[in-house]
Amino acid sequence: MRRVLSLFLLIPSISWGEVPQGAPNVPEFAPAFAGQTRAPEMAAIDGLDVTIFAQGLAHPWGIAALPGGGFLVTERDGRLRHVGADGAVSAAILGVPEVVARGQGGLLDVALAPDFGSSRAIYLSYAKPVGLGRSVTAVARGQLSHDMTELGDIRDVYFQNRPSRNAAHFGSRVVFGGGHMFITTGERFSPANRLLAQDKGVDYGKVLRLSPEGALPADNPFGNAVWSLGHRNVQGAAFDAAGQLWAIEHGPKGGDELNKITRGANYGWPVISYGENYSGTPVGRGLTQAPGMEQPVYYWDPVIAPSGMVFYDGAMFPEWRGDLLIASLRPGGLVRLRLRDGRVVGEQRMLTGTRVRDVEVAPDGSILVLVDADDGGILRLSLK
């Protein structure tokens, strides 16, 4: 691996200053509680090494670690690759479903089935064409061949229940916990579509809960796939060590959110937000709180444009265990949050200026980040 950068780490102690990030877009919005935004910056020590792990990936979007080493990586244009433990990138794996590679659409997340060791099943979320220029967010399940060259028995286990011509805000991450599959979606962006994030019958702006085979659990709160509602564009989701689901979503101009996801909860979009429209006008009535709507655990203004995320559980950085690592598209980089008793108590920024789409913890505890670019790749963060 070629060394490309040497940075500073941040230790668990907290300093009094906040992370440098510029003025908020909506300075008149006050947080609902202390520590909801602009947490103290965590102090720095040296020791972080950044190297190129893999090259030649076009807009990589999702990464999943394989048992025994190696990774599956999606490229937004519609290719799935095997990246070896040595960083070697395979030819495109055959059998991937047709995708709408337009706007923010394409081949999105990749996840292994909980029983991958015996079933060889993997899941792909993607923008699925449904005719007349329309598309839906969908999730397909297939069996990866042992030589990792093709997918067999590929079939959709979920597709969004309303198509749109808008090629934005598809979501979409796939995670497993408690015997269920959780899928995140976006609200498809347009002024009319965003209102449907509040409609329990439409799969826009939702966290969804299904069985791994795509069946509807009997104990879902609304009698359909919806687990939580009122989201804008959820591109990150992860379970913590206690089995709690967390999700992160893009706000508009300001107002990116970290949310603790609970059954049947409403997270407010587009009724409440800590951001404003890109034009500078208020979102709805310009509210940040409303009865029956959840507050984000944390929010950013200005944005970090969050994508994939993971709770760190590796051995290489023991002081980081339980911390949340978040991919940032703008201003770019890797964001680390320290949580204590369900609240954020510290923040760190690394690799600022690098457009990071997803993050994964390697078996040795090093951290891999996907660089989203025409000629993108994977960076590895480790200790010297």
Q: Tokens at residue 32, please?
A: 């609902």
Q: Is the dihedral of CA 103, 107, 111, 115 positive or negative?
A: positive
Question: What is the DSSP secondary-structure string of 73-102?
Answer: EEETTTEEEEE-TT-PBPPPPBTPPP---S
As to burial, measured by CB atoms within 10 angstroms (0-12 exposed, 13-18 middle, 19+ buried), residue 67 is exposed
Query: Which residues does the annotation mark as catalytic?
Result: 169
What is the residue type of 26? V
Nearest-angstrom CA–CA distance, 277 and 166: 18
Give the whole-angstrom CA distance, residue 69 versus residue 363: 7
In angstroms, the CA 304 to CA 136 distance is 26
| Secondary structure class of 318 (helix, strand, coil) | helix
Is the preceding peptide bond at 252 cis, omega within 30 degrees of 0? Answer: no
- C-alpha angle 72/75/81, rounded to 5°? 35
Tell me the one-letter amino acid at 269. W
SS3 180: strand
Q: Report the distance separating Cα 91 and Cα 332, nearest Å.
A: 28
**Contacts for 299 with CB less than 8 Å, ≥ 6 apart:** 31, 36, 37, 251, 255, 256, 257, 258, 274
Tokens of 265: 């909860």
